[in-house]
Amino acid sequence: MLFNSVEFLVFFPIVFIMYFSLSSKVRYIWLLAASYFFYMCWNPKYMILIFLSTAITFGSGVIMEAVREKNGDLVQKNFWLCSCLVVSCIFNLLVLFYFKYFEFAIRNINRVIGMGGGEKFRFLWHQIILPVGISFYTFQALGYAIDVYRGDIKAEKNFFRYALFVSFFPQLVAGPIERSENLLNQMKNTTYFKVENVRQGLLTMAYGLFLKVVVADRLASIINPIYNGWEDQRGMHLMVATVLFSFQIYCDFEGYSQIAIGSAKVLGFHINKNFRAPYLCTSIRGFWKKWHISLTSWFRDYLYIPLGGNRKGRMKKYLNTMIVFLCSGLWHGASWHFVAWGGLNGLYNVVQDAGQNNFNKICSFFKIDTKAFLWKCLCGICTFFLINISWVFFRAAGMRQSCSILKKIWADFNLWYLFSGGFYELFGSSKELVITILSLSIVVFVDILKNQGFDIKSYILRQQIFYRWLFYLAIIFTVVMWGGYGSGYEQTQFIYFQF
């Protein structure tokens, strides 16, 4: 069931009405049932994976809490705590490995065997269907187990409430990856119907729908034919498609996050933001503080810091940074081009950190005002350029295709192309070009306002009813008239569903 589907348009109001009609003591049971139904709309049999992950991490948490509260030998207590955490981690990671990385591992083993001339010893394997959202709910469950082990939170004693935390339908399939200290704690308290929550939530959902069906899906109809037939495309076509893809993936993923945040808000829950205007950043490090925040913070807290973070010297810090970004790339997909994407972004961060002092000295020597608007614009353009290079590895189907596309772009680079007829032909018609420019302008304008600390939703909701409804109708009209529906389009799932 997609957020941008008619089914969800029916499903969500029913969940909302029933939730606030039931007694506060059983509302979470209803939400749990609705969340399981929501997931089973994709593939019912994979619901068992969520249940097993839930049961094992819940049981591990309860045992860890009991061990911690019991008086006894400290060494023995630590043994049981570590054992529970290890069992929880091993189960979840093995399930994730089998469904997401087993084929990748076998392919690479067979490749190595083939290089050694041992074709007859190759392993046979069958195609495995990747369960939707497995990387997200697995990391969420693992984060809970680690938090209990560290003593950061108390273990949840109510199985159904914890099961809801793992499977909460707004963010189940593609995040944000929530922490137990935020979402699970909210589920322990009763939420009440509030008109303000409904107004803010629906407005947030509407903007998310705009990002998905008006911007991301429209851009997909331009990008996909170019990348699918990349061998016959000009380098400048590929460059334009890559730049558009940077906005497609942002609007697609932020669109999902906004709908998730908004639907949770309507039900009285607060989900953390996943993006904070990342393309307005003036450095790579700044970009990664504002892009897919829930994942980057997860890797920071549960991998980077346990590895030593920046506490054991610069070289160890850089090694830890590379490990985190390589793991992030592998988390996104079982393919070497995803690993290359992660490694390239890790390298960006290492180079920036290593050269920061020299860069500051150069700016000081030439008396460059690093706070000046034009300087920030230049840094922002450079950052956007570097990020776009990495997006080629993310979007392409493999390493060979990624490298070939970059070579084509380099060999055919010509800015005058942007003023030629070939550029306009990519959009199909002048109408499509205008709609694309207008919709992207809205996205950039909204991000600029957010970056300046301007609360757009509160401003709109403070207006008189006539102006509010004028704005609501404008959003509805835009989504219906400009959205990716009808002939020439096909309803596409969110990009991050594949991860």
Active site residues: 332
Indicate the residue type of 43: N
Q: What is the DSSP string of 344-387?
A: HHHHHHHHHHHHHHHHHHHHHHTT--TTSHHHHHHHHHHHHHHH
**Residue closest to 388 by CA, chosen among 199, 239, 189:** 239
Tokens 């690093």: give the residue.
370
Q: Which residues contact 375 (CB under 8 A, 6 or more apart)?
A: 368, 369
Total residue length of the chain: 499
Both tokens of 233, joined, read 């495309």
Tokens 């049932």: give the residue.
33
Yes or no: say if 236 and 412 are a contact pair by the CB < 8 Å rule. yes
Sequence-ordered alpha helix ranges (H) in 452-484: 456-461, 465-482
- The beta-carbon contacts of 81-89 under 8 Å, at least 24 apart in sequence, are 81/149, 82/149, 84/60, 84/145, 84/149, 85/60, 85/145, 85/146, 85/149, 87/56, 87/60, 88/56, 88/57, 88/60, 88/141, 88/142, 88/145, 89/142, 89/145
